[in-house]
Amino acid sequence: MAHRLRPEGLAFVESAPVRLVFAREVSAPPERVFPALAEDVSGWADWFPAVTSVRPLDDGAGRDVRLRGGTRFRETVLVAKEPEVYAYRVDVTNVPGVRALVEEWRLSPAGAGTRVRWTFAADGNGAFRAGLRLARAGLGRSFRDAVTRLDRRLAP
């Protein structure tokens, strides 16, 4: 059953009760990484193994995301500032117990490449928060695998 989440803004990335932050360097420059995140949203399924499909909505102002296992998100893009940051909040999901969720992808130059930092900021009931903390290692692996695949995809 889908339910509507609390509509948080970008500041939630810093104030959320649960914040999972992961970072990895890739060889592609920010000017190549940003479009893969913010413009080629349907391409996420090609490099992020947990994602089965992403469909842009409302001329790019939103996204419909489906994950393996049946999880669904309807999202609103909060900021798409090239080449530095891409962030969105989940408005509607079928995940039980979640109250608010914002994800931020921050890009910064790292030598000839890019440091990619993903912040997963969430609030929910006690069971959801505990489960998310337990899932930290798995989410970290998923992020590392996805960013590695993205780096290969962007290689010249």
Residue 156 scores a pLDDT above 90: no
pLDDT (tens digit per residue) in 94-149: 999 999 999 999 999 999 999 999 999 999 999 999 999 999 999 999 999 999 99
Q: What is the CATH number of domain 3-154?
A: 3.30.530.20
pLDDT (tens digit per residue) in 1-15: 799 999 999 999 999
pLDDT (tens digit per residue) in 20-70: 999 999 999 999 999 999 999 999 999 999 999 999 999 999 999 999 999
Q: What percent of the chain has pLDDT over 70?
A: 99
Radius of gyration over every alpha carbon of the chain, rounded to an integer in angstroms: 15
Residue 119 Cα distances to 1, 57, 58, 89, 124, angstroms: 26, 23, 24, 12, 16
Both tokens assigned to 130: 């505990």
Domain ranges of the chain: 3-154
CA torsion sign for 25, 107, 117, 35 is negative
Cis before 156 (ω within 30) = no
